[in-house]
Amino acid sequence: MAEEPLKRELANDEALAEEVADEHERRALEKTWGDEPGFWGWLASTNHKTVGKRFIYTAFGFFILAGILAVLMRVQLARPESTFLNPDLYNQIFTMHGTTMMFLFAVPVMEAVAVFILPLMLGARNIAFPRLNAFGYWVYLFGGIMLWVAFVMNVGPDAGWFAYVPLSGPEYGAGKRADFWAQMITFTEVSALVVATEIITTFFKLRAPGMSLNRVPIYCWSVLVMAFMVFFAMPTIAWASACLMMDRLIGTHFFNPAEGGDPLLWQHLFWFFGHPEVYIIFIPGTGFVSTILSTFSRRPIFGYTALVLSLVSTGFIGFGLWVHHMFATGLPRLGESFFTGATIMIAIPSGVQIFCWIATLWGGRPRFKSPMMFVLGFFFIFVIGGMTGVMQGAVPVDLQVHDTYFVVAHFHYVLIGGAVFPLFGAFHYWFPKVTGRMLGEKLGHLTFWVMFVGFNLTFFPMHILGLRGMPRRVYTYQPHLGWGDLNLLASAGGVLLTLGVLLFIVNALRSLRAGVLASDNPWGAATLEWATTSPPPAYNFLYPPTVDSRDTLWTQPADQPVVVGLRSDVREVLVTRTLDAEPDLKAEFPDSSIWPLLAALATTAMFIGTIFTPWAFPVGMVPIFATLTGWFWPKKRQAEERPPEEVKQKHGKRYYKLRGQES
Amino acid sequence: MSARPNIDVSNLPTFAFGHRPLTWWCTWSLILIEGGMFVVIFATYFFLRTPVPDWPPGVAYPRPFWGTVNLVIILVSCLPNHWAKKAAESLDLRGVRVWLAVMIVFAFAATAVRFVEFGYLNCRWDQNAYGSIVWVSMGAHLLHLVTDVLDSIVLLALLIVGPVEGTRFTDASENALYWYFVVALWVPLYVIIYWVPRWM
Ligand SMILES: [Cu+2]
């Protein structure tokens, strides 16, 4: 062969020999970890980057849909006594807007970014439980589609995003509208919980050697706190929505006061979930902020330990605040005082974070690139939102502004300021890593300014409207009330905000086609996702990295060790110890598979069926169980190839004898 | 092999027990989620109980006989469960098969008795809020029983038709852990369903 002399020559040169070995490894890993080609392979993918991208695009799609609904509402409210939307459609639209934004955009998109970024940042080859990850995505997608199909067919929920009983109960909520809402909760809750499981396991078990807990990047801590909050918040809403469906379908009386039930039970259950939900959305947002600030200030984040502790304590305190949504229900005075105290206390960890960020900026050499601009915008908006939040923690203020546009203004400042601006910062920051191309910087700045001005124009006037008595969720108002001008201003701001989002889409599409090619680490950042190519290969790292500090790419020597000895012919990953991340086990991840999709379809059939008949529950369990069995059943050939070394050591010949006899 | 400094992990084991393998984290995630759900269910029970003077409201006390039988079955099942877990952790294939099979018999019996129990609750789910919470919390636990029976059967089938892998022993150990959780749920639920109405 002509290759032979060539090979010999290469082997003389040590560096070239290494390159040949690397190329060999690269091909093997590509074959092992890559998605299968074609449509089937696309459906079967369990790669966290493929699934993560899908997740992000889908969540962004729902963001656009919910944004369109917001525009429709602003058109309706731009002038008094408008007849653009009728009251019934308006009810469906504001309910769909809130529901879609909270359940189909905000929580999923935060998890989606984590699905993509977390394994890279920790130096792992894939997320833990990759098939579960694919399943989580499909269930989310189908749940979202179900809700929107229902809406298009005029069966959209219409009782607000928190679906208070009795309005959503069997007595007043006729038809199937509230059922679709309640079942959408089940879909998104299953999806959120499985992704949270993956995040927690990845965080604790798949970190690069050397990344002891005190070296984990802040962003990873923030998604860990988010995942734990999902664990403790989601079961409550799942239980609540199950009770609501049962009240509506099989005649239980959980919320029926005539038979010993209690509508306030719904409010407790909903807000025990609903308040932490806000933190589930905004804590990863603060993770983006810390990451972007550190990179663009060109220094390690100030107060790492304080930041981690304040994230964790925000997570805990977040569960002790739910009653502040119920001050108007006539609870005992002492209870109200307690929850006022707790609500104001949340300002402490938030304040700690803000001071750490200011100190980081202060001691750094900031570069005002587009991701950084969104972070600065976040500061401004979020501080206003936080302050109006503390105001409403006081019961008298809350009673005054309850159910007015003041509340609408407040939570849009918190959610858009605390989550959407950092998220757009994160889009601009990680776009080169995800796509391999840089986003246009000029257009990025323009996007920021248009969004920032548009946002404040839209929502600041709502504070004043609320103080002037305009209630939320009214489809129109009379001219003599004097709310027309500020509403017109808010609607004009809405146009600008929409334009800002469109600019981002244009920028992204243009950059995807013709953007500057991104290097591995275009921002000069410190975390591991920048230690591989942009975009990363299917297996993430040719040799899994190790780290020597929190900001490892800034501090590590050129010959920082890598991990070798993992098989490249199967999807073998390194499992490290929980606290110090020392190598502990080699685990084999399953191949790509169509079963998660089939299981998600079976689950969808059961969930949608139970909207119409309780029998769909037992009957629907059969295909779910069948698909799950298919999912977990190992492929015989592969299982036989797995060398059970430890089993052999224990049993020696006896093991094989046993096996020979019985299989 | 690469000439750069490296950590060679080729000699690490491919499976382990306790908190080292990923499976354990999945099991505990499930336990935290489901456990949280039951805490909320219990809270709902007492939330509905608190404002009512007579409990159960307008219906007879549930009869505790079959519930107590089930308590005994479920508690005794901890023994074969324990042995199955021990056998798994000492890679004793025959032991796992035997004790897992015994465990399944117990879990199956508990499931069957559960269906009988519903007949002795002396209320219907659509009668009042008390009936709703009693039926639904019992049903939620039933769902856990059924799930555990089914996935234990699949695991047993895998252990019998093979090929036997190291991780299969981890699965058996985790399966036993999950059954302990199902047991731990029934104890407070039993007290709440059958005795709280009499005592409180
Ligand atoms: Cu709140």
Residues of chain A neighbouring B52 (CB-CB closer than 8 A): 260
Q: Give the position of tokens 């991208």.
A: A53
pLDDT for A662: 39
User: Which residues numbered 90-129 in B keep a CB inside 8 Å of some CB on A?
Assistant: 90-91, 93-94, 125-129
Backbone angles phi, psi at A290, to 5 degrees: -60, -40
Sign of the alpha-carbon torsion through A132, A136, A137, A139: positive
- A561/B1 CB distance under 8 A: no
Question: Which of B3, B32, B128 shows the shortest C-beta gap to A260?
Answer: B128
Residue A119 near residue A129, CB atoms below 8 Å: no
Residues of chain B neighbouring A586 (CB-CB closer than 8 A): 9-10, 12-14
pLDDT for A657: 40
Cis peptide before A643 (omega within 30 of 0): no
pLDDT for A1: 46
Q: How far is A651 from chain B (nearest CA, A)?
A: 8
User: Which residues numbered 4-23 in B keep a CB inside 8 Å of some CB on A?
Assistant: 4-16, 19-22
Chain A interface includes B31 (CB < 8 A): no
H/E stretch holding A185 reads helix A177-205
CA–CA distances in Å: residue A383 to residues A308, A320, A397: 20, 21, 19
pLDDT < 50: residue spans in chain A: 1, 653-663
A333 SS3 class: helix
Residues of chain A neighbouring B162 (CB-CB closer than 8 A): 639, 659, 662-663
- B4/A201 CB distance under 8 A: no
- B40/A546 CB distance under 8 A: no
DSSP per-residue string spanning A243-271: HHHHHHHT---TT-GGGT--HHHHHHHHH
Residue A325 C-alpha to ligand 1 middle, in angstroms?
6
Residue A177 near residue A157, CB atoms below 8 Å: yes
What is the 8-class DSSP label of residue A586? E
pLDDT for A649: 59
Strand partners, A583: A576
Residue B166 near residue B88, CB atoms below 8 Å: no
Residues 6+ away with beta carbon under 8 Å from A117:
A52, A219, A430, A529
Q: How far is A220 from chain B (nearest CA, A)?
A: 17
B8 SS3 class: strand
- B5/A561 CB distance under 8 A: yes
Chain A interface includes B69 (CB < 8 A): no
What's the rounded Cα separation, in Å, for the pair A587 and A574? 6
User: How many CB pairs below 8 A link A and B?
Assistant: 216
- B26/A201 CB distance under 8 A: yes
- A243/B29 CB distance under 8 A: no
- B128/A251 CB distance under 8 A: no
Q: Which residue of chain A is at minimal alpha-carbon distance from B51?
A: A260
Give the ipTM.
0.94
Chain A interface includes B32 (CB < 8 A): yes
Question: Which of B13, B22, B40 shows the shortest C-beta gap to A201?
Answer: B22
Residue B36 near residue B188, CB atoms below 8 Å: no
What's the rounded Cα separation, in Å, for the pair A515 and A507? 9
pLDDT for A518: 95
Residue B44 C-alpha to ligand 1 middle, in angstroms?
21
Q: Which of A92, A108, A101 is CA-nearest to residue A152?
A: A92
Question: Which of A205, A261, A647 shows the shortest C-beta gap to B164?
Answer: A647
Alpha-helix runs per DSSP H in A206-262: 218-249
Tens digits of pLDDT across chain B (200 residues): 445 788 999 888 888 899 999 999 999 999 999 999 999 999 999 999 999 888 899 899 999 999 999 999 999 999 999 999 999 998 888 999 999 999 999 999 999 999 999 999 999 999 999 999 999 999 999 999 999 999 999 999 999 887 778 888 999 999 999 999 999 999 999 999 999 999 87
Q: Which residue of chain B is at minimal alpha-carbon distance from A572?
A: B14
- Find the farthest-apart pair of alpha carbons in chain B and give their distance in angstroms, rounded: 80
